[in-house]
Chains A and B, each alone.
Chain A
C-alpha cells in the first residue's frame, strides 16, 4: 500500500530522510535502504535544495525503489526553469517516482556553488500549480501532454518559531490550495510548545508529518538552540544529553520518545538522522514503530 493510501486511510506513517552522495558512490544509500526495508513507509530523498551539489533526488529515489522501498523526492525552484522542472517531473513519473515534496531552496549564496546563477523561474506555489497542471494533461506553455503523470505532492512548513509561524502557515495554506496534499514540518523538539501550531496545521485538512531530528551531539544541540529559534531546544534537553553516560544512546532515545509522542498529535513523522541512518532502527525501536 502506498504512503498516500496509508495517509488517506488515516494510518500513521513513518518516513526517514536519506541524502544522495556527493559523487557516484551509492553503496551507503543502497545499504541504508536495504537495512530499513520493511520498517519505513517511505524514504524522503532531498534534492539539492540545501545548496549542496550532489546526485539528484530522482536517481536516489530510483535506487531506493529498486531496493523495494517507496521514495518521496524533493523538488525545488532555485536551479531549474519551468521547462526543466516539468520535464524532470515527467521523467519522475515514468521512472515510478510519484511522491513529491516541494521544498524551499537555500539561497545560492549559502550553497557550495556560490557563483552560480539562481533561477527561481517559479516559486513553490507556481511549481505546485505546474504539477497540478501536468496531472490535468497541460504544461505551463498551454500544450496538451501525451499521457499525464500522477503524483502525490506535499509541501514543507518553513518554521515553527514563535513570531514567524503565522507567515509560514499562510505560505503552507497557499501551497495546500495550490495542490499540496500533505505538509512536512521542521524538526519538533518541544512537543508541548509545538502542539498548538501542529493542531493549527492539521486544521488545513491535510495530513501533517512532523520532523524528528537526531541530535548527534551536545554541540549540535547548542548550535540549534542558538541558531534555530523554531527549534525551541531547552537547556534541560541539552543537559540530558550532556549528563548521559552514553550520549549517542541518549540522543537516539530522545528522538524515539519524540516520535512516539508525535504519534498522538500528527499523522506521521519524518526521521532525520543526517548521516546516522544506521541508528534509525534503534530510534524506531524506542518509538515502538
Chain B
C-alpha cells in the first residue's frame, strides 16, 4: 500500500489560513489502513483545526467527507456539491488523491494534509516499512523475495557493501541489511546459485528515468 503521515498541524493551519470554508476529504484506501487519512483521521484533523482556529479567534466552516477512493475519477465526482460550498479542499489522501481532486476541481485550491511516504507493508501494529520502489522491472524472483532497490540504502544490485555488519546496515541499527536478508532467504530456499549471478547495470527507464510513467491497457480503454 501507499503509506503516508499527517503533516504537522502548524503547517496545515498555515496552508489554510486564508480560507473561511474548508472541505476536508479523506480516502478509504491505503491511508485509512496506515491510519493517516481515513474517516477517523479526517474527524481528528477537523477537531484540531476547529480548536486551533477558535483559539486564534478565527472560526471557520469545516466540512468532512471521506471518499471510497480519492485517486479514482468515479468517486471524486461525488464531491461536486460539497466543493461548490468550499473555498478550499484539504485532502487527506496520498499525492495521487490530491492531484486527482486538483484535476477534477480546477478552480478550487487543493491542499495536502499528508506527506506521502512510500509503498510499504506493516511490520507490526503502528510500524510500516518500505518494500517496493516501483522500479517497473521486478527482480524479487532472483533476490529471494527481498527488494535490493527499496531495501538496500545504496540500491546495490550485486551483493552488500562494506557497511553491512551483524545483519544491519551501517546507516542505522534499526535497518536490516537487505543483502543479508537476501542471502539468508536464498540459503533457506537452497538457491544460493542465484546470488552468484551478477546483475547487469539496471535499466532505470521503467523506474521513471524516461519521464512520468503510464500504463495503457488497450483491452480496458474505451
**A115 adjacent to B205 (CB under 8 Å):** yes
Task: Report chain A residues within 8 Å CB of B210.
Answer: 107-109, 114
Q: How large is the interface on B (under 10, 10 to 19, 20 to 34, 35 or more residues)?
A: under 10
Task: Report chain A residues within 8 Å CB of B217.
Answer: none
**B204 adjacent to A109 (CB under 8 Å):** no
Closest to B204 in A: A117
Task: Report chain B residues within 8 Å CB of A108.
Answer: 204, 209-210
**B211 adjacent to A115 (CB under 8 Å):** no
Whether A68 is near chain B, meaning CB under 8 Å from some CB there, is no
The docked-state distance in angstroms from the alpha carbon of A116 to that of B204 is 6
Closest to B200 in A: A115
Q: Closest CB-CB distance, B202 to chain A, in whole Å? A: 7
The docked-state distance in angstroms from the alpha carbon of A43 to that of B72 is 53
Task: Report chain A residues within 8 Å CB of B201.
Answer: 115
Interface of B, secondary structure class, is loop
Q: Closest CB-CB distance, B106 to chain A, in whole Å? A: 19
Q: List which A115-148 residues lie within 8 A (CB) of chain B.
A: 115-118
Closest to B155 in A: A117
Closest to A115 in B: B203
Q: List which B195-220 residues lie within 8 A (CB) of chain A.
A: 201-205, 207, 209-211
- With known contacts A115-B201, A115-B202, A109–B211 Cβ distance under 8 A: yes
The docked-state distance in angstroms from the alpha carbon of A12 to that of B105 is 52
The docked-state distance in angstroms from the alpha carbon of A107 to that of B211 is 8
**Chain B CB within 10 Å — which of A114, A115, A118 has the most?**
A115
Task: Report chain B residues within 8 Å CB of A107.
Answer: 210-211
The docked-state distance in angstroms from the alpha carbon of A109 to that of B204 is 10
Which of B202, B205, B207 touches A114 (beta carbons < 8 Å)? B205
Taken residue by residue from 69 to 111, chain B's Cβ proximity to chain A (1 for < 8 Å, 0 otherwise) reads as 0000000000000000000000000000000000000000000
Task: Report chain A residues within 8 Å CB of B209.
Answer: 108-109, 114-118
Task: Report chain B residues within 8 Å CB of A117.
Answer: 202, 204, 207, 209
Task: Report chain A residues within 8 Å CB of B202.
Answer: 115, 117
Q: List which B127-181 residues lie within 8 A (CB) of chain A.
A: none
The docked-state distance in angstroms from the alpha carbon of A108 to that of B209 is 7
Task: Report chain B residues within 8 Å CB of A116.
Answer: 204, 209
Task: Report chain A residues within 8 Å CB of B207.
Answer: 117
Closest to B207 in A: A117
Q: Closest CB-CB distance, A77 to chain B, in whole Å? A: 15
The docked-state distance in angstroms from the alpha carbon of A140 to that of B210 is 28
The docked-state distance in angstroms from the alpha carbon of A118 to that of B207 is 10
The docked-state distance in angstroms from the alpha carbon of A109 to that of B213 is 12
Task: Report chain B residues within 8 Å CB of A109.
Answer: 205, 209-211
The docked-state distance in angstroms from the alpha carbon of A107 to that of B212 is 12
Q: Closest CB-CB distance, A118 to chain B, in whole Å? A: 6
Q: List which A163-212 residues lie within 8 A (CB) of chain B.
A: none
Residues in chain B within 8 A of chain A (CB atoms): 201-205, 207, 209-211
A-B contact pairs, 20 of them (CB 8 A): A107-B210, A107-B211, A108-B204, A108-B209, A109-B205, A109-B209, A109-B210, A109-B211, A114-B205, A114-B209, A114-B210, A115-B201, A115-B203, A115-B204, A115-B205, A115-B209, A116-B204, A117-B202, A117-B209, A118-B209
Report the 5 A-B pairs with minimum CB-CB distance, sorted nearest first: A115-B203, A109-B210, A117-B204, A108-B209, A117-B209
